[in-house]
Amino acid sequence: MIATFEVPRGGPRAAARAAAGLLLGAVTAGAELVLLAVAAVLMAYSMAFSRGRRKVPAAVADGAELLAELELWRLRAFLGEDRAVRYGPLKALAYLVLRVPVGLLGGVILLLLAYGAAAAVRLAVGWWITGDHMDDIPPTWWIVLYTAVAGVVLLFLAVQGLVGVAAMERSVARRCLGPSPLEEYERRIAQLSVTRAQVVDAVDDERRRIERDLHDGVQQRLVALGMLIGRARRAGDDERAAELLRQAHEESQRALADLREVTWRVYPAALDGEGLRAALETVAERSALPVAIEYDVPGRPPHAVETAAYFVVCEAVTNAAKHSGAASVRVAVAGSATMIGVRIEDDGGGGADPGGGGLAGLARRVAALDGTFAVDSPRGGPTVITAELPCG
């Protein structure tokens, strides 16, 4: 059986959701405790009379997997993380055996929190509303201060206890239901093999595209240019020669435009010398569309990250100019020492195909760095291309 977790975001809402998850976990721990008690009896009976052929009775296996699935849903909804897990009946039982005390511990801490809150309310009401002082102790200033400090310390310890229980909940699930270290290594090796093959394909596709553009575009225009100049030299009429030279000049301009477009796809020298920001500004200057660039990256990212970010922006801007019908493009590059985020948005008609050669090549290039790449381009627009590139 396979399931995934998602990482909850921080903030008060996430804290309240986590507390609700721990409360639910305390309730399910009671049900799991009953299942484990029944499972112990049934498994002992099964081992005694089935001669070891069936260690986990079907009822126990179904119940354990059902409760494990319920716990996975709870972890995913309240405490979870994005991690695939794979388990069977024995793993599910082992997980429940370890999770029950953790869940009960969370319930005990929540009960202590509730008892402490009720005691604080009762104390405050007795001191300042009803005058019924607890243990006949009046609310002098030092008694109030002493009680407040003690209450804050106990609240801090209780909150830290809940944080620890939440961490144990996730840790137990990963250790019992998640893949083993060997499986993780195998998965990582397989992923790297696929990524390497994709990078080789992407580079090969890009090389063939550049060769095709040089052969069918620039080379043909240079041939036409040479023929025009040759015809101008052989023309006996000055007026005819001038017309041919004018055509040759126009053809040379078109050849230069084609060559400039091809050079966009070649590694830019500015990226080495002046960094990503200068290279992106060069892209904006050469673009036929107005390109607004927002750049907020401290320091210089690793060379491979800069290169990938540059080609993502360059290809997206080129596609916007050629195919989208956009009037402008916005590029935002932001990040930290650990992650660079790139976002390109145009106001065109949308409909970009993520499976197209250029975008698919960018996705493979980003995946080679363990990054993420996404294209959102509904019909009618706008088109938003995002990439997140880890820096370490």
- Residue of higher predicted confidence among 39 and 51: 39
Averaged confidence pLDDT in the chain: 83
pLDDT per position as a tens digit, 335-358: 887 889 999 998 888 888 877 767
Return the beta strands (E) in 194-323 as ranges. 291-296
Q: What is the DSSP string of 133-169?
A: -GGG----HHHHHHHHHHHHHHHHHHHHHHHHHHHHH
Burial class, 210, CB count within 10 angstroms (exposed 0-12 / middle 13-18 / buried 19+): middle
Query: What is the per-residue pLDDT for 238?
Result: 84
Number of alpha carbons in the 13 Å side-chain half-sphere of residue 127 = 14
Q: Which of 341, 324, 300 is nearest to 378 (CA)?
A: 324
Burial class, 81, CB count within 10 angstroms (exposed 0-12 / middle 13-18 / buried 19+): middle
Global pTM reads 0.53
Query: What is the per-residue pLDDT for 60?
Result: 82
The Cα 366–Cα 374 span in angstroms is: 10
Look up residue 300 and give its two tokens: 């210089």
The Cα 196–Cα 191 span in angstroms is: 9
Specify the DSSP class assigned to residue 356.
S
- The predicted model gives 324-337 an average pLDDT of 87
Which range among 37-46, 65-74, 202-211, 298-307 shows the weakest confidence by mean pLDDT? 202-211
pLDDT per position as a tens digit, 236-267: 788 888 888 999 999 888 888 888 777 766 76
Number of Cβ atoms within 10 Å of the Cβ of 152: 10
What domains can be seen in the chain, in order of their start residue? 12-178 (no CATH), 183-266 (1.20.5), 273-390 (3.30.565.10)
